[in-house]
Amino acid sequence: MLADPKLWNKLPQQVSEWLSIQEEHSILPSRNELLVETYPRGDRFYLVAYPFEGRLAHQTLGMLLTRRLERMKAKPLGFVANDYAIAVWGLKDFSKLFKDKKPSLEMLFDEDMLGDDLETWLDESFLLKRTFRDCATIAGLIERRFPGKEKTGRQMTVSSDLIYDVLRTHEPNHILLKTTRQEAAYGLLDIRRLGEMLSRISSRIVHKPLDKISPLAVPIMMEIGKEGIAGEAHEALLKEAATGLLDID
């Protein structure tokens, strides 16, 4: 429907207007294409992809994409997903990276990301730490914050991350970690759907570098629930604060 302007008259006027502005400024992807837009905004660079696979699959895709970008030294800072799109932002100019093929978009969206990347990212991700905190609370390992006892609660909240790391190093098969993984696989990931999407769109990725945000990207930019990436970008920021120079190479 999105790709076919003839059907737009069935949509409310505002929506069809929105889509035609999108067509003017960027591209409207056809049914089997994946549109990827890249543009600068503020002092960051954004990548927005529109797989239309639902929030769960997008959330997983976000984890995996940022993991890959981190490994390819693109210094991602975070991502956010909604039901039809995913946005990733970082310190490096995505348009230039993809133009120089470091990495190319095809490499980035390759199906093999569901293998090792998934395992490794999962283990380090904040999403899992949060799931772990819930599991640990239910197990009675840590206490929830109570009114009037905020300080204690917060201290233990911080510690649940530490406990997670310690368990991961020393008891990777601990029952709480198993539970966490199960919970996460059930709640956060939609791997089957993601795999189908990746194989469908391979070699059908349309990249559109833009000077500024496109109409289709506005809703995702307003989305709440942003996920941060703790990686090299943080060190780059520390270095910039310390020396006044941004070192992104």
Partner 1 sequence: MNELAQIEETCGIEINFLENTFVLDPAGCLFWKEESLLVVSDLHLEKGSSFAAKKGLFIPPYDTQATLEKLALRVLHWQPKTVLSLGDSFHDDDAANRLPNSYKQHLSQLMLGRDWIWVSGNHDPSPPKDLGGTFCEEIHIANVNFCHEPKPEFNIGEIAGHLHPAAKIKQRGKSVRRRCFVGDEERLIMPAFGSFTGGLNVLDEAYAGLFSKRSLKSWMISGEHVFEMSAKKLVL
Query: Of the listed pieces 4-12, 29-37, 42-50, 125-133, which binds partner 1 according to CB under 8 A?
Result: 42-50
Return the residues of window 112-141 that contact partner 1 according to CB under 8 A. 141
If the CB atoms of residues 152 and 182 are measured against partner 1, the closer one turns out to be 152
Query: Torsions phi, psi of 145, nearest 5?
Result: -70, 135
The encoded tokens of residue 161 equal: 């991350």
If the CB atoms of residues 44 and 55 are measured against partner 1, the closer one turns out to be 44
Using CB under 8 A as the binding rule, whether residue 87 contacts partner 1 is answered as no
Query: Of the listed pieces 20-28, 50-58, 180-188, 237-245, which binds partner 1 according to CB under 8 A?
Result: 237-245
- State how far Cα 83 lies from the chain centre: 13
Rounded-to-integer distance, Cα 76 and Cα 232, Å: 8
Rounded-to-integer distance, Cα 173 and Cα 61, Å: 26
Hey, how many other C-beta atoms are within 10 angstroms of the C-beta on 174? Answer: 15
Smallest separation, CB 143 to partner 1 (Å): 8
Using CB under 8 A as the binding rule, whether residue 235 contacts partner 1 is answered as yes
If the CB atoms of residues 115 and 222 are measured against partner 1, the closer one turns out to be 222
The encoded tokens of residue 195 equal: 């795999």
Q: Decide: 227 and 82 in contact? Cβ < 8 Å.
A: no
The encoded tokens of residue 235 equal: 């060190």
Rounded-to-integer distance, Cα 241 and Cα 150, Å: 32
Interface pick for partner 1 out of 158, 222, 224, 245 (rule CB under 8 A): 158
If the CB atoms of residues 44 and 204 are measured against partner 1, the closer one turns out to be 44
If the CB atoms of residues 116 and 143 are measured against partner 1, the closer one turns out to be 143
If the CB atoms of residues 6 and 170 are measured against partner 1, the closer one turns out to be 170
Which residues are 205's β-sheet partners? 34
Interface pick for partner 1 out of 49, 91, 105, 122 (rule CB under 8 A): 91
Smallest separation, CB 159 to partner 1 (Å): 7
DSSP three-state, residue 28: coil
Q: Decide: 180 and 131 in contact? Cβ < 8 Å.
A: yes
The encoded tokens of residue 214 equal: 């496109």
Using CB under 8 A as the binding rule, whether residue 234 contacts partner 1 is answered as yes
Contact residues for partner 1, defined by CB under 8 A? 42-44, 77, 91, 141-142, 155, 158-159, 162-163, 166-167, 169-171, 174, 228, 233-235, 237-242
